[in-house]
Structure 1
Amino acid sequence: MNQIYLDHAATTPVLPEVCDTMISYMKSEWGNPSSLYDFSDEPRRAVLDARAHTAALIHADPKRIFFTSGGSESDSWALIGCARLLRCKGNHIIVSAIEHHAILHAAAFLEDEGFDVTYLMPDAAGFIHPENLLKAMRPDTILVSIMMANNEIGTIQPISDLAYIAHTNGCEGCLFHTDAVQAYGQIPIDVKRLGVDLLSASAHKIYGPKGIGLLYIRDGVTLTPLIFGGGQESGIRGGTENVPAIAGFGVAAKIAFNQMRATMRHEIALRNYLIQRVLHEIPFCQLNGSHQNRLPGNANFSFEYVEGSSLLMMLDAQGICASSGSACASSSAEPSHVLTAIGLSDELAHASLRLTLGRNTTKKELDLVVSILKETIDQLRSISDSYLNRISR
């Protein structure tokens, strides 16, 4: 049985070029980049090169890129670091209700620490409207964090408008952070044009290794460390650098930068083809998220009279890797907080299917997936009393 992988929002396969680079820094160039002898020159250069390549994807100064263990650490550092930095100016923080759990859990931690957190609700397509942010802003608002693109429904937010409102309506020095883990390397990003102060990203979403991410911190913003140690990462993130992972991240970022336009065209064409076929050929189905302004490879559907977990298991048995939402919350029996926030009932939220395409996805694969999906949904609906009652009316 051939596997069809349609869960690229969860993780991506590591590119051969990335693997080769990482192996070289584990087998031969394994020196500590902080050491002063010549043997550490190459690992030190690799970290500098990676910083430049990862910065290029967001048009940032490489000196403002700080490597972390992944997107979750970057998100936690951004929220907790900004809250501690600006506590003298206020204690109000705003996040959206559809953020990744890394943000939501960090926000809950800050609430326990005495901060006041406002959770902005999206509209039915998943957008956070700038006017709603404006209404929520207060003189003591010190931080706003809105994700650039949603990991479940793919909706891309109007980040520049949101950042402008944060900067002009909160306390003096109010900061704006965006979780760009799903958008980084997938769509063009320019931190200066967007006006963001902090941005989180992760390597394993762009065909790089797991366990390595970054936090972009605008010049002039000084965060206190979450992880203490030596003088690594300009003294604000302790711990010996994971050179193989950092070098691999750099290679993945360089390839993503060079191939972004072609990859976007490929994924958008296939995504639109998939959405069109599913909506036209499977009854009692809806697309979740924006129909237009969504990530290139993201398609999220809900199918009435179908239990999502059963659908996933049956697709898996036929070699199709898909998801019902965030991989980080896949073990939860609760309906997706994203889907319920955009107005879906618990029943429809439980009946969701996320298919996320990659650079190697083919039209032939999607044709087979649609065929199997139709047959599987027919099977599940054939044992649904609600469905049988509806079609017999």
Structure 2
Amino acid sequence: MIYLDANATTPMLPEVYEAMVPWLRDRFCNPNASYAGAREARDAIESAREQVAALIEASTEELVFTGGGTESTNMALKWLARLVGRKSGTVVTSEIEHSAVLKPIETFEKVGYEVVRVPVDAGGRLDEEAYRAACEKAAEGGGFVSLMWVNNETGVIQPVEDAAAVAREHGLAFHTDAIQAVGKVPVEVGGLDIDFLSLSGHKFHGPKGVGALYVRRGCRFEPMVRGGGQEGDRRSGTENVAAIVGLGKAAELALKDQKEAMQRVAALRDGFESALVERVQGVTVNGDLIHRVPTTSHLSFDRCEAAGLLVLLDERGVACSAGSACMTGKQKPSHVQKAMGFSDDKAKSSLRFGFSKLTTQSDCDAGVEAVVSAVERLRRVQGGGTGPVTVYSP
């Protein structure tokens, strides 16, 4: 398989797997018991907490281990909604958030919260003037902000540092979905006005089913899951020791080589895009080309349905994703692309390619050949023709 879908998930690094195996096989004790094996498991959890805290420059007491990014996000949002209260509460977010944010916020809206969805520009970046106005409005009756750090479809980086400062200026709590950011760009919460941050292990070569929620020291917080009082009584339930150890190892490795690895990944992505622009007419590179993570390329192909391209690419062993969601058999433009002003045709012709530090040059070369072949074949079937090559410039 030629794997170019690293935004969906990344393969586990061998070192991560090796770190997890003992806790799956021999060192299986419940970390909440009192004997030696349990103490070893507790120590392993705390070592992992130190590793994850170091990756985002947090303190260990500010981290809560969870079952993944979606749970982390839901924990933060549901607590903030409860804290604000629905009679006059306002939620400020953007038009391009992940469903882990959108779905909870939709439920808040149904029970009386006002939701302000801030628009983005053609490059997928937050409209900062509209955002400031939304924060001013929310401050009048109380509210909070949830804004993603990196968009999962386009890879565009949002101005989180400035946005968090604006929220603090207006007395609003600030949550960021950093699931596509951690391990790919520097995330240093210690110097920012961020109250809550969500992350997920499988987005940076850790295991699936484990993540963490950063809760800034001093922030009020009550658990969504109650029971035995694990995780400092902030997330009850027996800990998944092996997964937490894997998350910690992935964080350690990400911190160790992040800069060098991401420079190499950016070069691979840029070469991949350049080759396609050179060889395929009617290609658009979407999103802000300056403010984006190295791991994502979002492309549109004139006169090509993404669904058809995916079938042909799958036949060639290439794994990537459509730039729009397929629902009940009918392809519909994603909310992200519509927010960026895409026409339906352009949205339905978009693909997302995701790269990681395990991506090789041969993967990219083979991916280019497969895409060129798939586009040519699909255009022949759909009637041919050529079009201009366009690239968005911020």
Q: Same fold (TM over 0.5)?
A: yes
Change (3 A) 1:378 1:40: same
Amino acid at match of 1:313: V
Change (3 A) 1:390 1:256: closer
Amino acid at match of 1:289: G
Amino acid at match of 1:201: L
Aligned counterpart for 1:202 among listed residues 200, 203, 207: 200
Cα RMSD after superposing both structures? 2.0
In structure 2, the residue matched to 1:20 is 18
> 1:279 Cα deviation (Å)?
2.0
**Residue pair 1:96, 1:122 contacting (<8 A) in 2 also:** yes
**Residue pair 1:122, 1:128 contacting (<8 A) in 2 also:** yes
> 1:361 Cα deviation (Å)?
1.6
Residue aligned with 1:46, SS: helix
In structure 2, the residue matched to 1:225 is 223
Aligned counterpart for 1:185 among listed residues 179, 183, 186: 183
In structure 2, the residue matched to 1:149 is 150
Aligned counterpart for 2:382 among listed residues 366, 381, 384: 384
Amino acid at match of 2:146: S
**Residue pair 1:92, 1:142 contacting (<8 A) in 2 also:** yes
Change (3 A) 1:89 1:114: closer
Q: How many angstroms apart in 1 are the aligned matches of 2:35 and 2:206?
A: 29
Q: Deviations over 1:126-173 (max 9, x none)?
A: 10132111111222242111100001100001111101111112xx4x
In structure 2, the residue matched to 1:165 is 166
Correspondence 1:269 to 2:267? yes
Change (3 A) 1:379 1:236: same
Q: Deviations over 1:147-206 (max 9, x none)?
A: 00001100001111101111112xx4x101110000011111111223211100000011
**Residue pair 2:313, 2:371 contacting (<8 A) in 1 also:** yes
Q: How many angstroms apart in 2 are the aligned matches of 1:330 and 1:284?
A: 29
> 1:34 Cα deviation (Å)?
1.4
**Residue pair 1:130, 1:165 contacting (<8 A) in 2 also:** no
In structure 2, the residue matched to 1:77 is 75
> 1:383 Cα deviation (Å)?
2.1
Change (3 A) 1:329 1:103: farther
**Residue pair 1:153, 1:299 contacting (<8 A) in 2 also:** yes
Residue aligned with 1:333, SS: strand
Amino acid at match of 2:168: H
Q: How does 1:353-368 map to 2 (within 5 A)?
A: 353-368=351-366
Q: How many angstroms apart in 1 are the aligned matches of 2:101 and 2:387?
A: 41
Change (3 A) 1:364 1:384: same
> 1:365 Cα deviation (Å)?
2.3
Q: How many angstroms apart in 1 are the aligned matches of 2:183 and 2:358?
A: 15
Amino acid at match of 1:246: I
Residue aligned with 1:192, SS: helix
In structure 2, the residue matched to 1:125 is 123
**Comparing 226-235 and 209-218, the one that deviates more:** 226-235
Q: How many angstroms apart in 2 are the aligned matches of 1:339 and 1:180?
A: 20
Change (3 A) 1:78 1:331: farther
Percent identity among equivalent residues? Answer: 39
Q: How many angstroms apart in 2 are the aligned matches of 1:262 and 1:390?
A: 37
Q: How many angstroms apart in 2 are the aligned matches of 1:184 and 1:196?
A: 14
Q: How does 1:218-367 map to 2 (within 5 A)?
A: 218-325=216-323, 333-367=331-365
TM-score of the aligned structures, taking structure 1 as reference length: 0.94
Long gaps (5+) in structure 1: none
Q: Deviations over 1:240-264 (max 9, x none)?
A: 1111111111111111110101111
Long gaps (5+) in structure 2: 389-394
Aligned counterpart for 1:369 among listed residues 356, 367, 370: 367
Amino acid at match of 1:154: G
Residue aligned with 1:279, SS: helix
In structure 1, the residue matched to 2:391 is none
Q: How many angstroms apart in 2 are the aligned matches of 1:330 and 1:126?
A: 27
Number of equivalences: 385
Change (3 A) 1:228 1:195: same
Change (3 A) 1:128 1:87: same
Residue aligned with 1:118, SS: strand
Q: How many angstroms apart in 2 are the aligned matches of 1:188 and 1:131?
A: 25
Amino acid at match of 2:154: I
